[in-house]
Structure 1
Amino acid sequence: MRDVDIIGSSVNFRKPVLAFGAELKNTFCLAFKKRLYIGKNFGNLENLKSFTKYQKGIISLIKRLHTKPKIIAYDLHPEYLSTKYAMEFARRYGIDQAVSVQHHHAHIASCMFGNNIKGKVIGVAFDGTGFGSDGNIWGGEFLVASLDNYRRAGHLKYIPMPGATKAILEPWRMAVSWLDNIYKDKTKTLGIDFTKRLNRPKFKIIKQMLEKNINSPLTSSMGRLFDAVASLVIARDKVNFEAQAAIELEELAFEAIDSRFAGYGFKIKNGDCLVVDPSQIFKEIIRDVKHGVSHAKIAYKFHCTVVKIIKDTCMVLRKKTNLNKIVLSGGVFQNRIISELALDLLRSEDFEVFTHKQIPINDAGISIGQAVVANAKFAKRG
């Protein structure tokens, strides 16, 4: 099957599970007995050709395997095309066993499955976008997770995304959102290149959107934090492809990779769910910019800070939960500096750390995570 990857499984899928995947980097997964059949990466389902190919691929695989799904799994986001198609598919074929799977739980579950992990772990899921159970946009998440369930144990502080999806295409909007949150009306008087090059009418509109909460959903996304810093440090105000700002910031950080490990400040607010407040990062980046610190050095210090956020938050969660296994997943961990430093730092604190091997770390692995979660949930019900 050239259009399908086949993965062997130590987990037995007694009932065939069809998982519909995410919206970007989409794959679907049909899991049955001890095999998973994964439809190749269909890209962005908002592209009509991709979506049509995706639908045909699902039907074709079911026919070839002569296997009718008994359980379906799909993303929690109600507006995803993959979710809508899953609902339509269930109605058409009379499937009444269905489960919605939160995006970041699917990330962690896919990595747990790939490493044959049972029981609970501390899951660190960092990416750009994932619909949260509270209706906000998640992406900087610390979960206490098992295959069948999860609890949100920590996250990046919520910040508005002015313009919603437009803020993904124009990272300067996230920079304005963070600076406005910290400095309010003093933002324009910071005296740095970013504020000097801001288009005054556009800045005024964004300020009004933030003040009146117009089309500005809340996000805890680590990807959007990277965007804000990239706009401030390297003037990457618009992107032409996914994660462009973060990729360029990583490339710049490599120029200072031999520097001493040193990061910026941040706060972890205690509670039932920890909240990581990165406001101090922006204050110290602006200080470094004004003092003429090289952009490469600033980029590297930011990467070190992200890794320290991971380590410090996991240390707090270990005390709270007695869990020592950490699973790292999500697109941010495609960043070599983040992934390698995180592994080193966490292992130096005697954590047992797991990351992806065969299964994709980005959204191409979501369908596998969905299938695993759905199977675990229904197996528990008996």
Structure 2
Amino acid sequence: MEKYINNILKCYRANGVVQGVGFRPFVHKLALDHNLTGWVLNDSRGVLFAVQGSQGLIDNFIKTLKKNPPPLALITSVKEEYTKEFDSDIIGFKVLKSDSSADVRTIVPPDAHVCDECIAEVNDPDNRRFQYPFINCTNCGPRYSIINGMPYDRPSTSMRDFEMCYQCNSEYSDIADRRYHAQPNACSTCGPKLLYCDSNKIYQDKNILELARLHLAQGKILAIKSIGGFHLSINAEDEDAVNELRKRKKRDSKAFAVMVSDIETAKKYAEVSFEEEALLTSPQRPIVLLKKKNSNLPRSLAPNNPNLGVMLPSAPLHYLLFSKSYLSVVVMTSANISSYPTIYKNDVAVDNLCDIADYFLMNDRDIYTRNDDSVICHFNEGGNNNVSFIRRSKGYAPFPINVKSSIESVLAIGAELKTTLALSKGEDVYLSQHIGDLKNEESFSSLLESADKMQELLSIKPKVVAGDLHPGFHSTRYFEENSELPVIRVQHHHAHMASCMAENQLDEPVIGSIFDGTGYGLDGTIWGGEFLVGGYDHFERAGHLLPFSLLGGDKSVKEPIRVAVSLLHSAFGMEAESLPLQLYEAISEDEKRVFLKMADRKINTFITTSMGRLFDGVSSLIGVCHKINYDAQAVIELEGLLNKNHETTDSFSYELLEINGCVVLDHRPIIREIVHELLSGITDKALLSRRFHSTIVKANCEICHKISQKTGIKKVVLSGGVYMNEFLLSNTIKELSEKNIGVFNQRLVPSNDGGIALGQIMVANAQMNKF
């Protein structure tokens, strides 16, 4: 016993992404390497483990654990629970049975791509998993999409329906094996299997994959079940197939994302920086927006857009589809009917996609949570490389945002477009996967299902619900009428500002430059070009865009030409009718007269300060886009003319007015000067677009600087969907920084409405703490 005199037992708890990622066998091996005895187990709060030995050995063990965790693990904390005297009855190191009795505090692991070791086995003819499309291990594979409860064990996943064979169970039980406690572990003997069919019959061909490859090469459209739902896929080099998919999906202009076989192929079709390559090859496998190269890919893949959404294979099935020489690039777009959520169930796919897909490549492993691909853009912000989420979903959800301070438990239901949910516990806000636009009952049902599931998985019982201030939003009204919890309504742009503050862990007053398309204002009008001052508990409107009219309300969102006519009337009055502008060739004389009368007499018009609509109107005015087929098309095509070149140029004229204590950006001089240029014969759309973008950057920074001087606040946060615009974002950051103003943007959640739930939680928490 003398050799144990200086030895002690210490118990620790690890939190973060520590379940389903090989953390327990990692702890086990690491303890043995450090000559420590003890035990480890999963419970609902994370991973609990005890090690015993000398203090020095234990310290080195903890240091190594934090520094070199397993590939998919993300440790947020390792805290000591208790210290005891050495226990001689503990011999060796044991993995104990999971304990699910405690309150859930661990993080549900996101889905991850298949690792290199598994791919090597798939390609090895001598391996028993050769060509098996559901291979995985503790370092890779589906997680969030197949989980139905915590702790993360096989009975709590859709793999519970597949009993492991002797060989798989031996791997699963062997602490030294890479598949130790890999919950989706399976092989061709005992695991999920592929199914292949069309709308009439099931194909019994043994080589389903070869048949699928052949059909893709022949220009057929396949509905392919991936990790988080179905994709519609075609040969991306086949222009006829691209056009046919557009026709069947009723998607005239919106870009299709493509999946390429490897990073070398990506570089063949697009410019790929070092940082973009790191994103493409990361375990999350997002779609990354890259600058297109001249290639043989059809222009119709991403018309009027300098970018191409590119992703690498993420599931074993994807690699197998590319394993023959037939294909190197395929379209992989979400399989859904327009405005409806992505389909993730086999029977629903066959029923709803039979008019789009020629064939269905499915499997018998259920998806419990639909999970769209994440979309990311890498950009250079004032000389600093960074990323901007366009959609945060697969690979990232439901990983939380740490907000530094402990907050109340709140359920935030987001807005009605690009909806995500959020739940808070302690210092963390957990964001759901992308749910989408709540335009139909299917999407709304998905919202409710996700809310219930996240509360159950994370064991969070919210005290309140936070929703948008807009009186017409179905989601907010539903919870007010059907929930026992009180509902706190949060002004839309205040939520945007709070979202950016939260992810940057700011708690002092800031200036918020909030630019988006639509948000219900405190005065009942449509806001969208706002300069706010305040924090989580309050805000004041310190500036905004000069109001103008939306002709026909929501019709202006679909028809930017209506916004252009309204802006012309605002700048020229009824004299706008006689301006010899090419714009008017896109509408009839009757439409022109009606639109101008609507603007002049305020008939069926709505007042707005929307920066998004201003961009729409200018896009139409210079002849880029008069009617849209997808969200933000006019703005995307206007920015697309810049070809990812972020150099500023001379700005147009603008004025800053003082109205009711607010700094107001008068857009009328901008419109007048654009018209003057057009009538002078300057029709270079790219130049006009660059000058307009440069004008908004300059005016934005000047207003922020004025407000800073007036208030003494030296920090500005940038949020709202218009900040998806790389030119606007990067140059605003650069110019504000040069004015010695601290500037913060959104990097962890989208600046569009996909990140607004985070802000709703912070504002609701602040309001709760007032009472």
TM range (shorter): over 0.9
Of residues 126, 134, 138, the one that matches 2:515 is 126
Structure number having the greater helix percentage: 1
Of residues 303, 309, 313, the one that matches 2:699 is 309
Query: One-letter code of the match for 1:35?
Result: D
8 Å CA contact 1:108, 1:145 repeated in 2: no
8 Å CA contact 2:403, 2:429 repeated in 1: no
Q: Secondary structure at the match of 1:254?
A: coil
- Give 1:10 deviation, angstroms: 3.8
Residue by residue over 1:93-122, the C-alpha shift from the partner in whole angstroms, topping out at 9 and shown as x without a partner, is 2x23x3211111111101100011111111
Q: What are the residue-to-residue correspondences of 1:1-382 with 2, within 5 Å?
A: 1=108, 2=144, 3=369, 4-90=397-483, 93=484, 95-96=485-486, 98-254=487-643, 261-271=649-659, 272-293=661-682, 294-381=684-771
Counterpart-to-counterpart distance in 2, 1:15 and 1:226: 38
Query: One-letter code of the match for 2:668?
Result: S
Greater Cα shift, 7-16 or 27-36 = 7-16
8 Å CA contact 1:256, 1:297 repeated in 2: no
Counterpart-to-counterpart distance in 2, 1:214 and 1:370: 34
Residue by residue over 1:228-279, the C-alpha shift from the partner in whole angstroms, topping out at 9 and shown as x without a partner, is 1000112411000111000100011338755x62101111112411211110
Q: Secondary structure at the match of 2:398?
A: strand
Query: One-letter code of the match for 1:133?
Result: L
Query: Once the two structures are aligned, what percentage of the paired residues are identical?
Result: 37
Question: Alpha carbons of 1:288 and 1:103: their partners in 2 closer, same or farther (altered >3 Å)?
Answer: same
- Give 1:379 deviation, angstroms: 2.0
- Give 1:377 deviation, angstroms: 1.9
Q: Secondary structure at the match of 2:425?
A: strand
- Give 1:47 deviation, angstroms: 2.5
8 Å CA contact 2:651, 2:694 repeated in 1: yes
Greater Cα shift, 198-207 or 172-181 = 198-207
Residue by residue over 1:9-33, the C-alpha shift from the partner in whole angstroms, topping out at 9 and shown as x without a partner, is 2444453111110000001111111
- Give 1:71 deviation, angstroms: 1.6
Question: Alpha carbons of 1:349 and 1:300: their partners in 2 closer, same or farther (altered >3 Å)?
Answer: same
Residue by residue over 1:323-366, the C-alpha shift from the partner in whole angstroms, topping out at 9 and shown as x without a partner, is 11010011111111111111111111111110012121110001
Greater Cα shift, 147-156 or 249-258 = 249-258
8 Å CA contact 1:254, 1:300 repeated in 2: no
Ranges in structure 1 where 5+ consecutive residues have no aligned partner: none
Residue by residue over 1:33-61, the C-alpha shift from the partner in whole angstroms, topping out at 9 and shown as x without a partner, is 12222221111101221111111111222
8 Å CA contact 1:152, 1:273 repeated in 2: yes
Normalised by the size of structure 2, how large is the TM-score?
Answer: 0.47
Query: One-letter code of the match for 2:555?
Result: K
Q: Secondary structure at the match of 2:420?
A: coil
- Give 1:62 deviation, angstroms: 2.1
Greater Cα shift, 39-48 or 65-74 = 65-74
Query: One-letter code of the match for 2:462?
Result: P
Counterpart-to-counterpart distance in 1, 2:727 and 2:401: 31
Structure 1 vs Structure 2 CA RMSD:
1.7
- Give 1:187 deviation, angstroms: 1.1
8 Å CA contact 1:148, 1:373 repeated in 2: yes
Question: Alpha carbons of 1:67 and 1:348: their partners in 2 closer, same or farther (altered >3 Å)?
Answer: closer
Q: Secondary structure at the match of 2:622?
A: helix
Query: One-letter code of the match for 2:587?
Result: L
Counterpart-to-counterpart distance in 2, 1:255 and 1:149: 37
Residue by residue over 1:280-302, the C-alpha shift from the partner in whole angstroms, topping out at 9 and shown as x without a partner, is 11111111112233111110000
- Give 1:212 deviation, angstroms: 3.2
Ranges in structure 2 where 5+ consecutive residues have no aligned partner: 1-107, 109-143, 145-368, 370-396
8 Å CA contact 2:499, 2:758 repeated in 1: yes
Greater Cα shift, 158-167 or 181-190 = 181-190
Residue by residue over 1:105-158, the C-alpha shift from the partner in whole angstroms, topping out at 9 and shown as x without a partner, is 111101100011111111000011111011000100000020111101100011
8 Å CA contact 2:526, 2:607 repeated in 1: yes
Counterpart-to-counterpart distance in 2, 1:131 and 1:14: 26
8 Å CA contact 1:162, 1:216 repeated in 2: yes
Question: Alpha carbons of 1:14 and 1:220: their partners in 2 closer, same or farther (altered >3 Å)?
Answer: closer
Q: Secondary structure at the match of 2:704?
A: helix
Residue by residue over 1:51-101, the C-alpha shift from the partner in whole angstroms, topping out at 9 and shown as x without a partner, is 1111111122223334321122110001112211221243xx2x23x3211
Counterpart-to-counterpart distance in 2, 1:251 and 1:66: 44
8 Å CA contact 2:525, 2:608 repeated in 1: yes
Query: One-letter code of the match for 2:688?
Result: I
- Give 1:309 deviation, angstroms: 1.2
Q: Secondary structure at the match of 1:353?
A: strand
Question: Alpha carbons of 1:377 and 1:255: their partners in 2 closer, same or farther (altered >3 Å)?
Answer: closer
Q: Secondary structure at the match of 1:326?
A: strand
Counterpart-to-counterpart distance in 2, 1:309 and 1:75: 29
8 Å CA contact 1:122, 1:326 repeated in 2: yes
Counterpart-to-counterpart distance in 2, 1:365 and 1:14: 18
Question: Alpha carbons of 1:212 and 1:325: their partners in 2 closer, same or farther (altered >3 Å)?
Answer: same
Q: Secondary structure at the match of 1:138?
A: strand
Query: One-letter code of the match for 1:291?
Result: S
Counterpart-to-counterpart distance in 1, 2:756 and 2:666: 28
Counterpart-to-counterpart distance in 2, 1:207 and 1:234: 19
Normalised by the size of structure 1, how large is the TM-score?
Answer: 0.94
Following TM superposition, the consecutive aligned residue runs of length 4 or more in structure 1 with deviations greater than 6 angstroms are none
